[in-house]
Structure 1
Amino acid sequence: MDGILKKKWVVVSIAIFCAILWGSAFPVLKVSYDELQMAPNDTIAKIVFAGWRFLMAGLILLIGMLFVNWRRLLVTKRQFMFLVLFGIIQTALQYYFFYNGLGKVSGMQGAILVSSGTFFTVILAHFFYHNDRLNWKKAIGLVAGFGGVIVANWGSELQLSFQLTGEGYMILAALTGAIGTIMAKELAVGIHPFALTGWQLTIGAALLLVIGLPRLDEGAITFTPLGYGLLIYSALLSAAAFALWYSILKYNKAGEISMFKFITPVSGAILSAMFVPGERLNLFIIGALFLVAVGIIAVNYKGRAARKAARAR
């Protein structure tokens, strides 16, 4: 299994699949907010919804591991302390900042600021790993990928402003996500990727619910059959995407596979055009896909000498 997760075509396929899954969360959340009748500015309701979503995702993985190989769920005291810290940073803090900040920025700003997480990951990887340094290929990839995100959201209103609880929170969400990526690769030694995902989602979700449930207004969330379906789907996509992502992250360079996250906002825009009323696919989205593809190819391109060396090994 370990060897499979090092094969280039497997890594690329899983990374793209994860990015598309995360991208599908955009239209799912938009439709969910309307279906569940959540007020646009009710951040507590959104935090509680996020808590339910990630708690279900975490429990799906933990229960699945319990039946498949329960011994993989057992962790040492040191590993448990790491999982608590990881859950707080990667789930609770990241999504607290994300859901609160998203309500105070425009669509274009949100997409651009969230994408800064890829920059943070590549830069942090440069300092943490001697074999994952920033180079000209990654520089081209970052510029092209970031350009794709801007082009995808070109029609949105761009406001030149900054407030801590708006733009500041979105940057903090991106930064905590990048820190979580490095933590998962650097410190999750001996923990199965699925167990790592299940524990961190469950712990982080529990904290979100502890913060949100006591402050939730009565009637702030009204569930319907479709609403339950959307919640279950969002939990399943989180469980699958995070578990698969940490699986390939364990055996590959963080700086390289993080480039695929540029697909997330672009795929989110495409899927929103398909499923959210009033949103349509346009030439900007097609141009964005081209730029993101250029960025990913630039990062993963190996010259003739590198290909010969790889074949020789």
Structure 2
Amino acid sequence: MNQVFEKKWVVVSIAIFCSILWGSAFPVLKVSYAELQMAADDTIAKIVFAGMRFLLAGLMILIGLLFVDRKRLVVTKRQMLFLTIFGIIQTGLQYFFFYNGLANVSGMQGAILVSSGTFFTVVLAHFFYSNDRMNWKKGVGLGAGFAGIIVANWGQELQLSFQFTGEGYMILAALTGAIGTIMAKELAVGIHPFAITGWQLTIGASLMLIFGVPQLESNAMIFTPLGFGLFVYSAVLSAAAFALWYSILKYNKAGEISMYKFITPVSGAILSAIFIPAEKLNLYIIGALGLVAVGIIAVNYKGKGTAKEKLT
């Protein structure tokens, strides 16, 4: 199985697929908030909704693994300690900052600030791994990808201000996500990627629910058939994306894999234009796609002298 996840074309395909799945979460969540009649300033309801989503996603993976290969579910006490810490950081803490911060910034600011997680991951990988150093290609890739995110949102209002519970929380969400990526590669030795995903989602989501449910107001969320369907889809996309992402992360360089997360905000903008009437596809989005493509090519381009590293 590890040979499959080391093939370049497989890694690229999975990374792009995961990024598109994560991008689809933007329109899904926007429509869900409206369908469930959640107040725009009700951050507790959003935390509970996220906790429910990630708990269902985690349980899907754990139950599936129970039927397919139950031995993979068994972890040592030391591994469970890691999974608990990982769940707190990667799911609980990251999405606490994300949902609270997003309530206090514009959509454009949120997309740009959260995407800084890619910068954090590449920089952290430079210091943690001798074979994942920063170079000019990664620099070009980062610059082009980040420029693509800005261009994708160029037509929206961007107010240059800083509020700790707004911009500060979004940066902390990006940083905790980057730390989680390094933790998954560095410390998850001997744990199956699906087990990592299932346990950390379940543990982190449980903490979110423990925090949010006691503070949840009555009728904060009103489920409809469409709302329930969107909720299930959001859980499925999380389960699939995280499980596949950790699978390729286990056998590949963290810095290069994380580059593909630039596709998430761009795909999110395109899917929003398709499914949300108020948002339209324009030249800014098309230009952003071109910049993201340049970033991906720059990261993966191999010189003539490195033929053995070309696509498998």
Deviation at 1:92, TM superposition (A): 0.3
Structure 1 residue runs of 4 or more that deviate by more than 6 Å after TM superposition: none
What one-letter code is carried by the residue in structure 2 that aligns with 1:162?
F
Counterparts of 1:1-313 in structure 2, within 5 Å, are 1-307=1-307, 309-310=308-309
What one-letter code is carried by the residue in structure 1 that aligns with 2:119?
F
Preserved CA contact (<8 Å) 2:20 2:267: yes
Deviation at 1:107, TM superposition (A): 1.4
Deviation at 1:310, TM superposition (A): 3.7
Deviations 1:45-74 (A, max 9, x none): 000000000000000000000000111000
Deviations 1:164-208 (A, max 9, x none): 100000000000000000000000000000010000000000000
Preserved CA contact (<8 Å) 2:302 2:309: no
- TM-score, length-scaled by structure 1: 0.98
Aligned equivalents of 1:2 and 1:295: distance in 2?
26
Aligned equivalents of 1:240 and 1:310: distance in 2?
28
Aligned equivalents of 1:157 and 1:106: distance in 2?
8
Other structure's SS at 2:213 match: helix
What one-letter code is carried by the residue in structure 1 that aligns with 2:175?
L
Preserved CA contact (<8 Å) 2:62 2:199: yes
Aligned equivalents of 1:31 and 1:277: distance in 2?
11
Preserved CA contact (<8 Å) 2:122 2:256: yes
Deviation at 1:93, TM superposition (A): 0.3
Aligned-residue identity in percent:
78
Deviation at 1:119, TM superposition (A): 0.0
Structure 2, unaligned runs of 5 or more? none
Aligned equivalents of 1:68 and 1:310: distance in 2?
34
Other structure's SS at 1:133 match: coil
What one-letter code is carried by the residue in structure 2 that aligns with 1:253?
K
Other structure's SS at 1:134 match: coil
Deviations 1:92-149 (A, max 9, x none): 0000000000011111111100100000000000000000000000000000000000
Other structure's SS at 1:191 match: coil
Other structure's SS at 1:61 match: helix
Aligned equivalents of 2:170 and 2:192: distance in 1?
30
Number of residue pairs the alignment of both structures matches: 311
RMSD of Structure 2 on Structure 1 (CA): 0.9
Aligned equivalents of 1:136 and 1:275: distance in 2?
38
Aligned equivalents of 2:71 and 2:238: distance in 1?
23
Other structure's SS at 2:115 match: helix
Aligned equivalents of 2:220 and 2:301: distance in 1?
50
- TM-score, length-scaled by structure 2: 0.99
Aligned equivalents of 1:221 and 1:92: distance in 2?
20
What one-letter code is carried by the residue in structure 1 that aligns with 2:17?
F
Aligned equivalents of 1:110 and 1:77: distance in 2?
37
Preserved CA contact (<8 Å) 2:101 2:166: yes
Other structure's SS at 1:71 match: helix
Other structure's SS at 2:151 match: helix
Deviation at 1:272, TM superposition (A): 0.2
Aligned equivalents of 2:8 and 2:71: distance in 1?
30
Deviation at 1:255, TM superposition (A): 0.2
Aligned equivalents of 1:127 and 1:105: distance in 2?
31
Deviation at 1:156, TM superposition (A): 1.1
Aligned equivalents of 2:196 and 2:256: distance in 1?
21
Deviation at 1:150, TM superposition (A): 0.1
Aligned equivalents of 1:53 and 1:106: distance in 2?
23
